[in-house]
């Protein structure tokens, strides 16, 4: 049996992203969402979530150590002089190299703040993953596993995708290289996840879809699924004319996101799911 969780990342980043993600949730083709606790549109996301059937969608934290403004005050290593996270490239370099005990304490403190913000809003968090996959980097993985244990979050994403399910000829070299790095780090992180007693899907797909999702590519992924539980990462959204651009989360409401949403809402996508007998589910709750 092939069970699939289709998880949309970045809920809370901006209002158009919220609109698109929750449109796909209501259509039944997104079964799980990951929420940015420091997202500028978090309150809008929480308000929209209240109207959902919570038995058909799972909620997780998209832990963020790379973009926007932290929830913790006084971060000396994770944040820059402007008080914001260092952005993707600099944050990744920092998380690869590590920064000692003080750095690890900052990571743990910020993770607790982000998780508590969502739990305080009444959400039952089933899973944890990372914005820009920060959660699997060497300096973060132990702190993320420990935070998941402290807060009774049973599932964690392991983004170890073996390769694209479709032709590589039109995938940028930079995306291929980035995806290989994330997969390698995820393989390293799996030991810590299992040692912490956390659960992960058997398979993961979505790294090579970044900004390039189309119906044929999604069909190739679905047709190539292995038995077991697969998490497919997606990034749907809506574009809003005149949406403000700023220092943080400035590239979220793009046409690529809306194209991805159209794929997820299409009748052809639904027919593919039916044809290959895929069962869509949210992250299962684990009792006890």
What are the pLDDT tens digits along the chain (288 aa)? 799 999 999 999 999 999 999 999 999 999 999 999 999 999 999 999 998 888 899 999 999 999 999 999 999 999 999 999 999 999 999 999 887 888 999 999 999 999 999 999 999 999 999 999 999 999 999 999 999 999 999 999 999 999 998 877 788 999 999 999 999 999 999 999 999 999 999 999 999 999 889 999 999 999 999 999 999 999 999 987 654 444 456 556 678 899 999 999 999 999 999 999 899 999 997 654
Cβ-based neighbour number of residue 2 at 10 Å: 15
Check residue 247 and give its pLDDT: 43
Q: Which of 180, 178, 181, 199 is nearest to 190 (CA)?
A: 199
Q: What is the rounded distance in angstroms from the CA atom of residue 23 to the CA atom of residue 41?
A: 16
Write the Ramachandran bin of 46: left for phi over 0, alpha for psi from -120 to 50, otherwise beta: alpha
Q: Which of 249, 253, 264, 21 is nearest to 132 (CA)?
A: 249
Check residue 285 and give its pLDDT: 79
Check residue 242 and give its pLDDT: 54
Query: CA of 241: how far to CAs of 58, 97, 135, 253, in Å?
Result: 30, 40, 33, 9
Check residue 288 and give its pLDDT: 47
Check residue 101 and give its pLDDT: 86
Cβ-based neighbour number of residue 87 at 10 Å: 15
Instruction: Map tokens 């991805």 to a residue.
Output: 260
Q: Give me 70's structure tokens.
A: 């932290």
Strand 58-63 versus strand 32-35 pairing type: parallel
Check residue 254 and give its pLDDT: 78
- At the second CATH level, the architecture of 2-280 is Alpha-Beta Barrel (3.20)
Check residue 99 and give its pLDDT: 74
Listed by start position, the domains of the chain span: 2-280
Q: What is the rounded distance in angstroms from the CA atom of residue 24 to the CA atom of residue 20?
A: 6
CB distance 214 to 272 below 8 Å = no
Its pTM stands at 0.94
Check residue 259 and give its pLDDT: 94
Residues in the chain: 288
Q: What is the rounded distance in angstroms from the CA atom of residue 183 to the CA atom of residue 160?
A: 4
């Amino acid at each position: 049996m092939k069970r699939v969780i289709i998880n949309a990342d970045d809920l809370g980043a901006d209002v158009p992203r919220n609109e698109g993600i929750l449109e796909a949730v209501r259509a039944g083709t997104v079964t799980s969402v990951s929420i940015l606790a420091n997202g500028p549109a978090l309150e809008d996301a929480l308000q929209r979530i209240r109207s959902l059937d919570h038995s058909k969608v799972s909620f997780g934290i998209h832990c963020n150590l790379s973009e926007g403004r932290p929830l913790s005050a006084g971060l000396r290593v994770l944040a820059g002089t402007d008080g914001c996270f260092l952005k993707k490239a600099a944050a990744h370099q920092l998380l690869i190299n590590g920064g000692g005990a003080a750095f690890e304490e900052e990571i743990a403190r910020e993770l607790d703040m982000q998780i508590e913000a969502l739990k305080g809003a009444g959400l039952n968090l089933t899973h944890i993953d990372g914005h820009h996959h920060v959660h699997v980097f060497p300096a973060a993985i132990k702190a993320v596993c420990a935070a998941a244990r402290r807060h009774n979050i049973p599932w964690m994403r392991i983004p170890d995708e073996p390769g694209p399910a479709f032709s590589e000829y039109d995938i940028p070299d930079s995306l291929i290289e980035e995806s290989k790095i994330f997969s390698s780090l995820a393989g390293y992180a799996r030991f810590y996840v299992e040692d912490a007693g956390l659960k992960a899907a058997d398979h993961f797909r979505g790294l090579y879809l970044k900004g390039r999702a189309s119906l044929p590519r999604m069909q190739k992924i679905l047709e190539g699924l292995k038995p077991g539980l697969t998490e497919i990462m997606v990034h749907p959204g809506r574009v809003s004319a005149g949406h403000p651009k700023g220092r943080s989360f400035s590239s979220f409401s793009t046409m690529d996101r809306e194209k991805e949403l159209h794929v997820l809402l299409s009748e052809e996508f639904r027919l593919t799911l039916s044809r290959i007998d895929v069962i869509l589910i949210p992250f299962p709750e684990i009792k006890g």
